């Protein structure tokens, strides 16, 4: 049988097909030639979803844009598939201005009107030109959204002469539009779109639009409309000034960049449909109630769109307002390697007393004491709960804790540590992998519900009672997968929040099937290590 690596000319993938992998690829190819526009593919970790995407792109012949959730994943894809002609493109802040030292392209004078004599050799614009003509492009969600909305897009342009009532006119038409859009880590797509759409006004903005906390949407709309002409006029004035000025006027460049961003925020808020306001002491934020109303900004006019993720479910596609063909692959990892067991302990919520939380700490200590030959991760959901555990545990000297600014450093120290070692974290639920002996057990200290005090979450729950349950399931699946990265990995998962007793039966349909297959039973005593 011909391997995927032989088909693509990539020796790295010559080891052959995983069980069921070729069948899923054939289904993807059938979709590519069908009339169905959208495909959702739930492809578990270890199944080779990026390889499947490359096979689909290569053999369908469709010009492809591949979206990732992080720049790190972009780099990984380039390392694996650059021989296929893949071109990587990132935000302008990733490229150095070649005319002015110490300046990134996003803050370069040319953005404010300066007539750059070496723009044709610019590292960013050269790379953009390659991306606009390449058969296969990889980028991240944030750049795709910004470049599609505010830049020149992802298509090459050709001049065409058109006749119109006033005579002949030269216009630019797209010469090479994307034909296939692949959304990797697609469960992150709605968050990326929400982040792109949301607008935040801070104390700094008050010099140009003197906003007040008591303003409602109508007042924001009125005051924004009043301020916008003056803001746009100053943008034009700076642009004209910079065209005549041959020096790098950094003060003008910064002011132009800020005003352009403020103008974009005001205009976006003016086009809002059913947005929610969050008012804090020094800022106010407007967020779409549902990003499904704006999914067209994500998928644009691309005729074929495939969403892929290990934790993709029909519910997450519904959040994006997308529906179409559905594929779901079985995990190539043995079920017995990742048993998920609920151990009766205490119901962990805001009503839990200190005495009950001490029982929770004691249960965690009991788990650690039985696993002194292993390393594990304990997910706490909050920094306050992390602090409570660290201060009361008998094994505090084996624990690695972090705050928001030193996550990577602490994770690196934990990975290098010898057993026994325990990482206590409210947030390392995605973006970090702990293969092999780096993590052999995971403790879910609390069902990971989002903070329901935020205005946007309150508004969403009012319309969809299951929304927080689905969000918690998404995070739970991510948590429990941190330690199982290959078919040889074993990682025991122990849930010690008794909310599980009602939560799992109610929301298990929001979990991928491969995850459901790993859930065992509720027990009174801690199972033996595996």
Three-class secondary structure assignment of 58-125? HHHCCCEEEEECCHHHHHHHHHHHHHHCEEECCCHHHCECCCCCCCEHHHCHHHHCCCCCCHHHCHHH
Q: How confident is the model at residue 361 (pLDDT cuts 50, 70, 90)?
A: very high
H helix runs in 134-172, sequence order: 141-150
Q: What is the mean pLDDT of the chain?
A: 92
What is the spatial distance between Cα 63 and Cα 53, in angstroms, rounded to a whole number? 12
What is the spatial distance between Cα 269 and Cα 228, in angstroms, rounded to a whole number? 12
Number of alpha carbons in the 13 Å side-chain half-sphere of residue 506:
12
Q: Above 70 in pLDDT, residue 168?
A: no
Tokens, residue 348: 């962990």
- Tokens 């705050």, residue? 403
Q: Above 80 in pLDDT, residue 252?
A: yes
Q: Above 80 in pLDDT, residue 213?
A: yes
Q: How confident is the model at residue 89 (pLDDT cuts 50, 70, 90)?
A: very high
Q: How confident is the model at residue 308 (pLDDT cuts 50, 70, 90)?
A: very high
Question: Higher model confidence: residue 171 or residue 299?
Answer: 299
Question: Higher model confidence: residue 119 or residue 526?
Answer: 526
pLDDT at residue 166 in the model: 59
Instruction: List the helix and strand counts (H, then E) for the chain.
Output: 18, 19
Q: How confident is the model at residue 164 (pLDDT cuts 50, 70, 90)?
A: low
**DSSP state string for 301-322:** T-SEEEEEETT--HHHHHHTT-
Q: What is the mean pLDDT of residues 347-354?
A: 94
pLDDT at residue 81 in the model: 95
pLDDT at residue 172 in the model: 57
pLDDT at residue 498 in the model: 98
Q: Find the range with the poorest average confidence among 335-349, 448-462, 516-530.
A: 448-462
- Tokens 């899923």, residue? 24
What is the percent of the chain where pLDDT is above 70?
96
Q: What is the b/e burial string over 77-98, where b = at least 16 CB atoms within 10 angstroms of the residue's CB?
A: beebbeeeebbbbbbbebbebb
430-470 pLDDT, tens digit per residue, is 778 899 999 999 999 999 998 888 899 999 999 999 999 99
492-506 pLDDT, tens digit per residue, is 999 999 999 999 999
Tokens, residue 29: 């190819």
Q: How confident is the model at residue 141 (pLDDT cuts 50, 70, 90)?
A: very high
The residue ranges of DSSP E strands in 397-491, in sequence order, are 399-401, 421-425, 441-444
Element (H, E) at 501: helix 500-507
pLDDT at residue 165 in the model: 59
pLDDT at residue 157 in the model: 63
381-416 pLDDT, tens digit per residue, is 999 999 999 999 999 999 999 998 899 999 999 999
Task: Name which of 125, 131, 71 is nearest 98 in CA terms.
Answer: 125
Tokens, residue 128: 């953009």
Q: What is the b/e burial string over 250-263, where b = at least 16 CB atoms within 10 angstroms of the residue's CB?
A: eebbeebbebbebb
45-61 pLDDT, tens digit per residue, is 889 999 999 999 999 99
pLDDT at residue 404 in the model: 87
What is the spatial distance between Cα 69 and Cα 115, in angstroms, rounded to a whole number? 34
Tokens, residue 380: 């706490």
What is the percent of the chain where pLDDT is above 90?
81
pLDDT at residue 246 in the model: 61
Q: Find the range with the poorest average confidence among 162-166, 278-282, 338-342, 410-414.
A: 162-166
What is the spatial distance between Cα 105 and Cα 91, in angstroms, rounded to a whole number? 9
What is the spatial distance between Cα 349 and Cα 356, in angstroms, rounded to a whole number? 10
CA angle 436, 477, 383 (to 5 degrees): 85
């Amino acid at each position: 049988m011909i391997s995927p690596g032989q088909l693509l000319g990539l020796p790295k993938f010559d080891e052959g097909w995983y069980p069921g992998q070729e069948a899923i690829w054939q289904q993807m190819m059938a979709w590519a030639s069908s009339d169905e526009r959208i495909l959702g593919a739930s492809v578990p970790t270890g199944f080779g979803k990026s390889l499947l995407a490359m096979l689909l792109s290569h053999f369908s012949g469709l010009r492809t844009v591949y979206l990732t959730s992080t720049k790190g994943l972009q780099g990984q894809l380039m390392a694996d598939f650059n021989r296929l002609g893949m071109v990587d493109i990132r935000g302008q802040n990733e490229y150095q201005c070649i005319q002015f030292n110490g300046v990134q392209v996003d803050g370069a004078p040319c953005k404010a009107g300066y007539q750059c004599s070496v723009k044709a050799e610019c590292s960013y614009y050269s790379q953009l030109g390659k991306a606009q003509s390449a058969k296969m492009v990889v980028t991240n969600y944030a750049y795709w959204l910004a470049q599609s909305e505010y830049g020149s897009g992802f298509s090459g342009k050709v001049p065409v002469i058109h006749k119109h009532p006033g005579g002949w006119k030269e216009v630019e038409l797209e010469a090479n539009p994307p034909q296939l859009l692949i959304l990797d880590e697609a469960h992150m797509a709605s968050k990326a779109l929400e982040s792109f759409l949301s607008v935040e006004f801070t104390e700094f903005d008050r010099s140009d639009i003197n906003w007040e906390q008591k303003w409602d949407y109508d007042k924001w709309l009125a005051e924004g409309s009043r301020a916008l002409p003056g803001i746009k006029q100053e943008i034009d004035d700076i642009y004209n000034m910079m065209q005549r000025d041959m020096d790098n006027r950094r003060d003008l460049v910064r002011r132009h960049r800020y005003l352009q961003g403020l103008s974009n925020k005001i205009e976006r808020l003016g086009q809002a449909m059913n947005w929610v306001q969050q008012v804090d002491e020094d800022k106010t934020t407007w967020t779409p109630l549902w990003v499904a109303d704006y999914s067209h900004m994500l998928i644009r006019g691309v005729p074929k769109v495939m969403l892929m993720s290990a934790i993709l479910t029909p519910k997450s596609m519904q959040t994006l307002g997308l529906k179409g063909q559905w594929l779901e692959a079985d995990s190539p990892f043995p079920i017995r390697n990742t048993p998920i067991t609920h151990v009766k302990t205490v119901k962990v919520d805001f009503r839990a007393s200190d005495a009950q939380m001490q029982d929770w700490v004691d249960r965690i200590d009991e788990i650690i004491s039985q696993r002194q030959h292993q390393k594990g991760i304990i997910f706490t959901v909050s920094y306050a709960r992390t602090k409570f555990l660290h201060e009361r545990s008998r094994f505090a000297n084996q624990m690695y804790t972090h705050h928001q600014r030193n996550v990577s450093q602490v994770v690196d120290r934990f990975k290098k540590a010898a057993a026994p070692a325990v990482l206590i974290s409210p947030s390392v639920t995605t973006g970090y992998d702990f293969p092999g002996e780096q993590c052999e057990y995971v403790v879910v200290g609390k069902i990971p519900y989002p903070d329901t005090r935020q205005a946007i979450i309150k508004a969403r729950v009012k319309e969809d009672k299951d929304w927080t349950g689905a969000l918690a399931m998404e995070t739970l699946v991510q948590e429990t997968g941190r330690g199982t990265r290959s078919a040889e990995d074993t990682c025991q998962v122990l849930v010690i929040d008794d909310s599980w007793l009602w939560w799992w039966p109610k929301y298990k349909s929001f979990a991928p099937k491969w995850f459901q297959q790993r859930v065992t039973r509720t027990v009174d005593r801690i199972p033996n290590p595996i």
